[in-house]
Amino acid sequence: MRDHPEIDPETDLMLERVVDVAPELIWRAWTEPEHLTQWFTPKPWETIACEIDLRPGGVFSTTMRSPEGEVLPADRGCYLEVVEQRKLVFTDALGPGYRPKGESFMTAIILLEPEGAGTRYVAIAMHADPAARGKHEEMGFIEGWGTALDQLVEHAKTLA
């Protein structure tokens, strides 16, 4: 987290990897619902719906289905920063129009930097405190986000 001084290792989690897909394609996979649903949830979980209004204050919502067929309530968060092909920040602390949700779990930061023909991909999950970080780690942040990234890369290559 040397290059990201705003990140606190006590409360935050980070995944960093260089992948062989251009930032442009990763951006499309993150910001177009028909593509995001193809990779967002590690299989055999599925993302069955996705709502994106790509501007600060706009909705970012996903609906997931468990391997047993249980559909979880949509988690309606909102975007905070949108920098085309470079940076995406969203949170579950606020709903569309910045309405507070009362409780929150995390703010996510996705950073894309061109590296050769590929991308240096950084995903950060910021939490309120070490307990929330620990919970996210137990939920399998590293493995889950890593597997989703594998799926993202595989899907993004079909967009080239």
- Smallest separation (angstroms) from a second copy to the CB of 106: 6
For the sheet with 59-65, list strands across it.
12-19, 118-126, 107-115, 87-91, 75-83, 59-65, 46-52
Among 106, 122, 152, 153, binds a second copy (CB under 8 A): 106
107 binds a second copy (CB under 8 A): yes
Residue with tokens 């909705």: 59
- Smallest separation (angstroms) from a second copy to the CB of 141: 15
- Smallest separation (angstroms) from a second copy to the CB of 99: 5
What is the Cα–Cα distance from 100 to 5, expressed in whole angstroms? 27
For the chain, how long is the longest CA-to-CA vector?
43
Exposed/middle/buried for 30, CB within 10 Å: 0-12, 13-18, 19+? Answer: buried
Binding characters for a second copy, 10-49, by CB under 8 A (x = yes): -x--------------------------------------
56 binds a second copy (CB under 8 A): yes
98 binds a second copy (CB under 8 A): yes
80 binds a second copy (CB under 8 A): yes
Question: Based on CB atoms, which residue is closest to a second copy, 28 or 87?
Answer: 87
94 binds a second copy (CB under 8 A): yes
Residue 117: count of CB within 10 angstroms of its CB: 8
> 3-state class of 97 per DSSP?
helix
Among 33, 42, 57, 146, binds a second copy (CB under 8 A): 57
50 binds a second copy (CB under 8 A): no
Per DSSP, 19 falls in state: E
